[in-house]
Structure 1
Amino acid sequence: MQKPQVPSARGLLYRLYQRRLKRGLTTEHLPRHVAMIIDGNRRWARQLGFQTAAHGHRAGAAKMREFLEWCDDLGISVVTLYLLSSDNLTQRPSDELADLIEIIADLAEELSHYRNWRVQQVGSKAGLPLPLVAALDAADARTSGHSGLHVNLAVGYGGRTEITDAMRSIVATHHAHGGTLEDLAETLTPELIGQHLYTGGQPDPDLVIRTSGEQRLSDFMLWQSAHSEFYFVEALGPDLRQIDFLRALRDFSRRQRRFGG
């Protein structure tokens, strides 16, 4: 007869601490929009002796599904995941990039069938392989009517390119309506630029988290994060724990946001 498993003391303490952190959070002090820079997948794979980075990217993708569940269960409205930058398209080795693109396509497909989440690409499709574009477009179309957690997949994304594209869109729209340069100068405002970003119509991120201990933005949401709070986690992407996330939320809830003041 098999003996029932007894939870370890460490595991029990972990769960108790996790519940304590959750109890200390209140809805009014939670961020509406969390942006996540998932970093450290390649280092994670190397440290575990894997021959390719693909193992780390797969583990990171699985962790992001889990991370989205944490956010959804807490009532957070929008999450943006930085999965593939425009720089990655030219700087990553071709074999690693091919694996990463396949993993992202699979993740988009998976998320579009999960709960009532709205899945949307934010980024440029220029330079993306057609199968990845098809997977992102299919996820968008499949979830367009969903009202649950809004999941932005930042793929082919670059903050400077986003601002450039927004300006081009504004100029093109203005020109199509017969406007003059003088009129454009009068109407150009931060609010107008925000409407033409990839995330137009969404709230800016209240909290930006980056894993792996690195403390830089890497061309991510440069415009939207002007007044965001930042939190850096030492854990590599696949090793992120719910406790790490809850600590980030606790830290966020204790900060006095100044919005540039």
Structure 2
Amino acid sequence: MVFSVVLSFCSKVVGEDVGWVKPEGATISCDDFYSAPTKLGVLSNNVWNKYAAKDDPWTQCLKERLVDGELQFGWSWSWPFGRQLIYSQPQIKVGSSPWSPEPKFDDSFPLKMSSLTKLDISHHTESVSNGDHNTATTMWLISEEYRGDEQNRSVIAAEIMIWTYFTEGHFSPAGRKYSELTVNGAAWEVWYHKDWRDMSGVNDNNWVYVSFRLKQPSMKISIPALELLSYAVKEGLISKELYIADVELGNEIMSGSGVTWIKDFTVDYRVSKL
């Protein structure tokens, strides 16, 4: 089956029919926050800011398709145009998020940053959309080695976001631009906010926010995550004594309809035994 979509570059207004993009493949679930374990990680239909859509129609679903005899997973969405905000972040994750610990994937998490000798994150995605979104890898850093099965906001210390793709209309990361750095020939912007929060207003806790935005966006990349984290530690933005609760790959959706397929998502790490 061939997936096709007509991209619209006309201006949109809040409440206008965005025209649902029907992707190929089968629907796993369209339920809010539905989770589905896969061989690459746990899919999550994260609609954390859905109430910002108000009375406008929206849809977001987890998907699967068969490619060369192998199941491939992803998600589709349709959100209103016209608002400058993030509605959702459908994702696949490894580890156990302090926001939603179950189901877990890879019991080695959380990983203490000071014990890591290697952390490389590679991913390859395919996205088609008529709106604005980014592709970001998120790591929630926690203050203690929490392994419980209930949400625990009290341990959240920092959010690391690594932007590797973004549409032209997507706004910049939170906070202010702190600096730029080059790692292995790739140039990154560094953004920082020392007191970030849940913009949906549902939760009242705060945390440090650090974002690395790739200056040459790509949907296929190997991220030198340990080097980026080490830079943030060296600059005093985060503590090396924090733990990585999980690693999430997803899209922050601002507007429009679209679909993303995960062709690869690998978290390669090594921890010192000392």
Using the size of structure 2 for normalisation, the TM-score is 0.25
Larger-Rg structure: 1
Return the structure number with greater strand share.
2
